[in-house]
Amino acid sequence: MSDSVEPSTTESTGLAVDVLVIGWGKGGKTLARTLGSSGTRVALVEQSESMIGGTCINVACVPTKTLIHQAAVKPEATPPAEWFTTSVEARDALIGKLNTRNRELVEEAPDAVIVMGKAAFLDPHTVEVTQGEDRLRITADTIVINTGTVPAGPPIPGADSPRVHDSTTIQHASPFPERLAIVGGGYIGLEFADMFAGFGSEVTVIDPGERILPREDDDIAAGVTEHLEAAGVTLVRTEDGHAVEAEAVLLAVGRSATTAGLGLGRAGVEVDERGFVRVDDTLRTSAEHIFAVGDINGGPQFTYVSLDDHRIVAGQLTGDGTRRRSDRAAVPNTMFLTPPLSRVGINEQQARAEGRGVLVAAKPVAQIAAMPRPKILGNPTGMIKFVADPDTRELLGATVWCVDSQEVINLLALAMRAHVTVDALRDGIWTHPSSTEALNEVLGELRPLTV
């Protein structure tokens, strides 16, 4: 609890605030700090000390990308288990610092209070927080649900074995798995496959699809398949009936909502068939004064989307209230392979499915003469593809699989939102040597898509 907070209390409620945030994800913690620094009394409830700061910094984006980087720079002479232990220690040290700083950021807000414990609604404006034998009732004018998601646990016999992991526990796998089986070939599964192959594991990915990355273009999926197989990853379809032997198993089959136990029915908050909270375009739930931000509202499960959720809710509470989810355009995403694979907008596959007349350009990174940076770094793997409108000459989408793609894709997303033409991007003056220079060459090769 922040020392400067003087919450109003009553015998029946325990604590009364203007805004109650349940869960410490990106959107929730930013709301708590922002509102709590501007005269609004805010309570932020979190059930776990290990999750202060939210999923991203504790068990997802930051720790996994730390391990991915460590795997990519593994000294050849260092034994895999030894380097993995060193890498996990570096991961834990970083996360400990971020966890501490995130607590401080909320505590520094003069009108914000932190409450540790598990929250459950008693009625539309009252939540009871339980921690051991202690109970605290909090009433609030506005409530924000920000409880996030957890790794999905499919009903598979033996899934409760200590050697069967989810995306959280695998980060501290002990002993180091010399052979690792991964169930699920989505973004999470493939990131861990690339990571553990880098550490030195013999990795097998088991997936029901005919090929990995079904939403990506065939040439991109084929390239990623070749890359993974070259790294020592075996890709197996479940229909093929392979028997896979491994010291550890990672179940990477998606994430589930965390609404069970919140007592949402008592608050009049509706959920969908998957358990995610239903919201409108301003993130209001079926209860007018209750919002849901971040993964729990069933939207794209990205930290930066949760941050944008906070802007929408803040606008409803203290701003002009004009921002909407439907305002979002050209939202990029990245799968952190080595090198990373980034996307924004539509790809060739989608353009064909929609029967759209578009311009397309594609080129393997190793063949892009104007882009020496990947070669300098010793990793010319990948491909860059663009889809553009032939009439407006604006970019409709991009797939960027190369060194620095997580940065280049942000530039392209901004260009799409600002309606910058492909000609302006093609003729841009970019620093050298940089990955952005690929735009000069590849965009000069746009041609009509042939059906």
pLDDT digits over 291-349, tens only?
999 999 999 999 999 999 999 999 999 999 999 999 999 999 999 999 999 999 999 99
Averaged pLDDT, 237-246: 84
Q: Under a CB-based contact definition with an 8 Å cutoff, are residues 188 and 302 in contact?
A: no
Q: Under a CB-based contact definition with an 8 Å cutoff, are residues 173 and 248 in contact?
A: yes
Is the pLDDT score of 2 beyond 50? no
**In this predicted structure, what is the pLDDT of residue 238?**
86
Q: Which two tokens stand for residue 312?
A: 């929408």
Compute CA distances 292 → 255, 259, 306, whole Å.
17, 11, 10
**Alpha-carbon torsion angle 238, 242, 243, 248, nearest 10:** -50
Strands 134-145 and 290-292 come out as parallel
**In this predicted structure, what is the pLDDT of residue 1?**
37
- Cα 432–Cα 434–Cα 438 angle in degrees, nearest 5: 105
Would you identify the CATH topology of the domain 164-251? FAD/NAD(P)-binding domain (3.50.50)
pLDDT digits (tens, 9 = 90+) for 354-401: 999 999 999 999 999 999 999 999 999 999 999 999 999 999 999 999
Buried b (16+ CB within 10 A) or exposed e, 221-254: bebbbebbeebebbbbbeeeeeeeebebbbbbbb
Residue of 24, 29, 27 whose CA lies nearest to 48: 24
Is the pLDDT score of 282 beyond 60? yes
Q: Which residues are catalytic?
A: 432
| Pairwise pLDDT comparison (451 vs 448), residue with the higher score | 448
**In this predicted structure, what is the pLDDT of residue 451?**
66
How sure is the predictor about 8, in pLDDT bands with cuts at 50, 70 and 90?
very low
Is the pLDDT score of 10 beyond 50? no
Would you identify the CATH topology of the domain 333-448? Enolase-like; domain 1 (3.30.390)
State the SS3 of 187-253. Answer: HHHHHHHHHHHHHCCEEEEEECCCCCCCCCCHHHHHHHHHHHHHCCEEEEEHHHCCCCCCCEEEECC
**In this predicted structure, what is the pLDDT of residue 4?**
36
**In this predicted structure, what is the pLDDT of residue 402?**
98
Residue 283 φ/ψ region, left for φ over 0, alpha for ψ in the -120 to 50 degree band, beta for the rest:
left
pLDDT digits (tens, 9 = 90+) for 151-192: 998 888 888 899 999 999 999 999 999 999 999 999 999 999
Rg (CA), the chain: 24
Query: Which regions of the chain carry the CATH code 3.50.50.60?
Result: 15-149+256-327, 164-251
Q: Which amino acid is at 309?
A: D
**In this predicted structure, what is the pLDDT of residue 292?**
98
pLDDT over 90 percentage in the chain:
94
Averaged pLDDT, 405-415: 98
Buried b (16+ CB within 10 A) or exposed e, 398-407: bbbbbbbbbe
Averaged pLDDT, 240-266: 93
Is the pLDDT score of 244 beyond 60? yes
**In this predicted structure, what is the pLDDT of residue 239?**
75
pLDDT digits (tens, 9 = 90+) for 183-219: 999 999 999 999 999 999 999 999 999 999 999 999 9
Would you identify the CATH topology of the domain 15-149+256-327? FAD/NAD(P)-binding domain (3.50.50)
**In this predicted structure, what is the pLDDT of residue 6?**
42
Is the pLDDT score of 12 beyond 70? no
Average pLDDT, the chain: 95
pLDDT digits (tens, 9 = 90+) for 54-106: 999 999 999 999 999 999 999 999 999 999 999 999 999 999 999 999 999 99
Q: Which two tokens stand for residue 283?
A: 């993130």
